[in-house]
Amino acid sequence: MRFLVDAQLPPALARLLREHGHVAEHVTDIGPGDAPDRDLWRYALDHEAVIITKDEDFSLMFAMRGETPAVVWVRIGNTRRAALLIWFEPLIARIVELVGSGQRLIELR
């Protein structure tokens, strides 16, 4: 599966996804870290990537419907990178399963 990790999350999350056999890019791999959300949305659509974000704006864009990429909305507070990766890693298989079954908005708490 292909993932696009948004700017509020560390590049290490993209590396973790690659270690699990997925194609994963951090937004800074494809352009400036402050690229507009609409540009990232379009990139995800064009590349069939799942957006992983902490940004509520993507869930609002999702609610507007139309053509949507899958969005994984990470809703945990600020945490250290290592703790985030430990928390996220066991969820990867379930995320892939949910996206594969057609889920387009996955909220993680």
Structural domains of the chain, ranges and CATH numbers in brackets: 2-108 (3.40.50)
| Per-residue confidence (pLDDT) for residue 64, from 0 to 100 | 85
27-48 pLDDT tens trace? 999 999 899 999 999 999 999 9
pLDDT confidence band for 22 (50 / 70 / 90): very high
Asked if the model's pLDDT at residue 51 lies above 90, the reply is: yes
The model carries a pTM of 0.96
End-to-end Cα, the chain, rounded Å: 22
Q: What is the mean predicted confidence (pLDDT) over 73-85?
A: 96
Q: What is the mean predicted confidence (pLDDT) over 9-13?
A: 98
Question: Which residue carries 């997925």 as its tokens?
Answer: 22
Q: What is the mean predicted confidence (pLDDT) over 21-28?
A: 98
* Residues contacting residue 66 through CB under 8 Å, at least 6 positions apart: none
* 3-state SS, residue 108: strand
80-102 pLDDT tens trace? 999 999 999 999 999 999 999 99
